[in-house]
């Protein structure tokens, strides 16, 4: 079987198996709440904001009345339209593009991703470094980095199949670079939040997930991309989880 087909088949199988994963139960704390009314309009840059959790974050932020720029390498297929939305073309690995993109924003969210691969990866670390340099130059202090279960000290908390099959076979180099990205962000001068979602799905937002900082004895469950978006927007509105790394899971 060609490697690409094997990779795709294994990833589909893993998605099914992980959908039956664990739960953090009552660990951590309940999901933050959105304010009844926003205190002030934020201007948010979402890098990777045209798909996945990034797109859900863009949609929710717009619903809340914030200004949003969604930056993507390939935004041509995006049909979302709003008077508070700007869609930009840009590559997180291009320092000049990122320097121009961050200007005028109050906060930056990095929500980029790539398909499973065994190739060496630098997207997350180089991208984070570029964003932080641009933010410093533009005097922007707030950043949220979407990482994932299996990065840093969350390795070994994804369940038997994920920890022993999926991550070492398909995600090893991706998570090695996510480790580097998390270190770069957490050692920066910015007000940062590192967000590690559990196993992502396309379910509706429940706003009933848990926010876990101490993952001792925890095996992650799933979470919808919409709930990840809820956490990021609520974190910005409430100015919470500053300089913290959290796991999000049902």
Whichever domain contains 230, its CATH number is: 3.40.50.720
Map tokens 């079987």 to a residue: 1
Q: What pLDDT was estimated at residue 24?
A: 84
Q: CA–CA separation, 74 vs 169, rounded Å?
A: 28
Assessment of whether the complete model's pTM goes beyond 0.85: yes
Pairing between strand 107-110 and 85-89?
Answer: unpaired
Would you state the structure tokens that stand for residue 219, as one six-digit string?
């095996």
- Crossing angle for the helix pair 225-238 and 52-63, to the nearest 10 degrees: 50
Task: List pLDDT tens digits, range 58-115.
Answer: 999 999 999 999 999 999 888 999 999 999 999 999 999 999 999 999 999 999 999 9
Q: CA–CA separation, 196 vs 198, rounded Å?
A: 7
What mean pLDDT do residues 210-229 have? 96
CA distances in angstroms from 215 to 22, 23, 31, 43, listed in the order given: 13, 12, 16, 32
What mean pLDDT do residues 120-130 have? 98
pLDDT(185) > 80 = yes
SS3 label, residue 78: coil
Which has the higher per-residue pLDDT, 20 or 137? Answer: 137
Domain count across the chain:
1
Q: CA–CA separation, 24 vs 14, rounded Å?
A: 20
Q: CA–CA separation, 91 vs 114, rounded Å?
A: 13
Domain limits for position 199? 3-249
Task: List pLDDT tens digits, range 3-18.
Answer: 454 444 444 444 444 4
Rounded mean pLDDT of the chain? 91
Query: Do the Cβ atoms of 67 and 248 come closer than 8 Å?
Result: no
Which H or E element spans position 188? none
Query: Do the Cβ atoms of 10 and 153 come closer than 8 Å?
Result: no
């Amino acid at each position: 079987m060609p490697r690409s087909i094997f990779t795709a088949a294994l990833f589909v199988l893993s998605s099914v198996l992980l959908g039956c994963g664990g739960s953090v139960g009552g660990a951590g704390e309940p999901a933050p709440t959105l304010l009844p009314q926003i205190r002030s309009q934020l201007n948010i840059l979402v890098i990777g904001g045209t798909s996945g959790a990034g797109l859900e974050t863009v949609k929710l932020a717009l619903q809340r009345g914030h200004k949003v720029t969604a930056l993507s390498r390939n935004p041509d297929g995006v049909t979302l339209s709003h008077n508070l939305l700007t869609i930009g073309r840009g590559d997180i690995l291009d320092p000049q593009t990122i320097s121009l993109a961050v200007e005028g924003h109050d906060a930056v969210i990095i929500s980029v991703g790539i398909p499973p691969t065994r190739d060496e990866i630098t997207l997350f670390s180089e991208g984070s470094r570029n964003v932080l340099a641009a933010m410093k130059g533009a005097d922007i202090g707030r950043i949220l980095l979407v990482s994932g279960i299996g990065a840093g000290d969350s390795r070994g908390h994804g369940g038997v199949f994920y920890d022993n099959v999926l991550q070492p076979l398909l995600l090893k180099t991706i998570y090695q670079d996510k480790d580097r990205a998390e270190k770069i962000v957490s050692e920066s001068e910015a007000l940062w939040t590192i967000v590690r979602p559990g196993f992502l799905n396309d379910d509706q937002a429940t706003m009933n997930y848990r926010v876990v900082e101490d993952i001792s004895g925890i095996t992650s469950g799933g979470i919808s991309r919409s709930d990840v978006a809820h956490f990021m927007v609520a974190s910005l509105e409430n100015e919470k989880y500053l300089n913290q790394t959290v796991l999000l899971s049902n």
